[in-house]
Structure 1
C-alpha cells in the first residue's frame, strides 16, 4: 500500500480539550513531521477544525484513534497525498 505523506481532515471536537492539545497528540505519533490545525467554525457545543498533517509515513488509523481518544471525531477526509513525495495541485481551466 502507498505511503500517506499528507492528510487533510475535518475534525469535530468538543470545546475541551483544546485544539492545541489535540494537535500536539497527533504530532507525537510516529511518522508525522508536522501538524497544522485551523479553527473553521465554532458553535455552542463543538468546534470544527481543519487538520493538515504531513510526514514520512502517516498511519491513518493511529491518527483517527488518537483524535477519538480526545473525544473528537474525524468528520471527513478532505485531501490525501500518497507515494514517494507530495504532488502539488495544479490549476486547470475549470479553476
Structure 2
C-alpha cells in the first residue's frame, strides 16, 4: 500500500483540552512527524480546527482514535498526499 504523507482534516473539538495540548497529543502518534493546527471557527462550546498532519506513513486510524479520545470529531478529510514525496498544488487559472 502507498504511504500517506500529508493529511488535512477538519476537526470539531471541545474547549478542553486547549488547542496546544490537543495538537501536541495528535503529534505524539507514532506515524506523525508534525502537526499544524489552525483555528477556523470558535463557538460557545466547541472549536473548529484545520489540522495539517505530515509523516512518512501516517496511520489515519491512529490519528482518528487520538482525536476521538480527546473528545473531537473528524468532520472531513480535505487533502491527502500519498506516494514517495509530497506534490504541492500547482496554481491553475481558476485559482
- TM-score normalised by length of structure 2: 0.96
List 4+ stretches of structure 1 deviating above 3 A. Answer: none
Q: How much has 1:89 moved relative to structure 2?
A: 0.4
1:21 has 2:21 as partner: yes
Q: What residue is the counterpart of 1:91 in the other structure?
A: 91
Alignment-derived partner of residue 51 in structure 1: 51
Displacement after TM superposition at 1:71 (Å): 0.5
Q: In angstroms, what is the RMSD of aligned CA positions?
A: 0.8
What corresponds to 1:82 in structure 2?
82
> How many residue pairs align between the two structures?
95
SS in 2 for 1:67: helix
How far residue 2 of structure 1 moved from its aligned partner, in angstroms, is 1.2
CA distance, structure 2, for counterparts of residue 20 and residue 78 of structure 1: 21
Other structure's SS at 2:66 match: helix
Displacement of 1:31: 2.0
Distance in 1, matches of 2:62 and 2:89, equals: 26
Scaled by the length of structure 1, the TM-score of the pair is 0.96
